[in-house]
Amino acid sequence: MLLKDKVVVVSGIGPGLGRSIAIRSAAQGADVVLAARTASRLDEVAAQVRALGRRALSVPTDVTDPAAAEHLMRAALGEFGRADALVHNALAMPPIKDLLTVDLDAITTAFQVNVLAALTMTRLFVPALKETSGSVTMINSMVVRFSQRTMGPYKATKAALLAVAQSLATELGPDGVRVNSVAPGHIWGDSLQWYFGYLAKKRGVDPREVYEETAANTDLRRLPLPDEIADAVVFLSSPMARAITGQCIDVNCGEYHH
């Protein structure tokens, strides 16, 4: 029970990683505050948290709206009276295009969700996190570990998010608040399974072939599951990581080394 009686706030709740972070946190003893724009997703995950014997608070939130973000903070503290861990999982994917040709408005939207919203949420929760010597974990991506055509817009947002996390670790360290990042590789969840099926259909091959080709680039010859990414987040949110801050843990089955 790494998070026994802790309160974990998770943004970007959905059917994939956000859900896994919430459920794995609850399984380790945490009460969970769930934030996303889609209320139906929140209700489903909240029911799963409660089935594990923990409390859940659902707060429909557009994290790019400062008033909505402040409402989330006040609702969380009003319900539980504390916050021990904040997890930024909200994501807006910019177009997969070259930086020289991509629509700049689309990049601006991605920066607002991926970077500025994470900073805004952290600033709002800092007073509560100082009281609990809490932590912040920002979900990054292995895209920061390589350079590839058409991935520039996405890498730009995630590289900025990594810089924000590292700088916040320096700023908040004297107050006992830790800030870290988790960088997943390919996550073998519903979205990637659908995409591999789409690629397989285009090529006229079995989806397993696409999976094996991708997994061959990893040391473990497989792709990480959502729960395996979430377990890294749980660890960083727990007292087991009490001396870890300013770090980025890569969870990619050895596809890239850092």
pLDDT at 58: 97
Phi and psi at 223, nearest 5°, equal -110, 145
How would residue 14 be classed by pLDDT, with cut points 50, 70 and 90? confident
User: Is 21 inside any structural domain?
Assistant: yes
Q: Tokens 């909505």 identify what position?
A: 68
| Residue pLDDT, tens place only, 165-215 | 999 999 999 999 999 999 999 999 988 999 999 999 999 999 999 999 999
Residue 146 pLDDT level (bands cut at 50, 70, 90): very high
Q: Are residues 88 and 201 in the same domain?
A: no
CATH number, position 236: 3.40.50.720
15 pLDDT tier (thresholds 50, 70, 90): confident
**Per residue in 202-254, pLDDT tens?**
999 999 999 999 999 999 999 999 999 999 999 999 999 999 999 999 999 99
Show the domain range for 196.
Answer: 188-223
* Residue 2 domain flag: no
Say if residue 211 is in the same domain as residue 141: no
Does 135 reside within a domain?
Answer: yes
Inside any domain, residue 258: no
Catalytic residue positions, numbered: 154
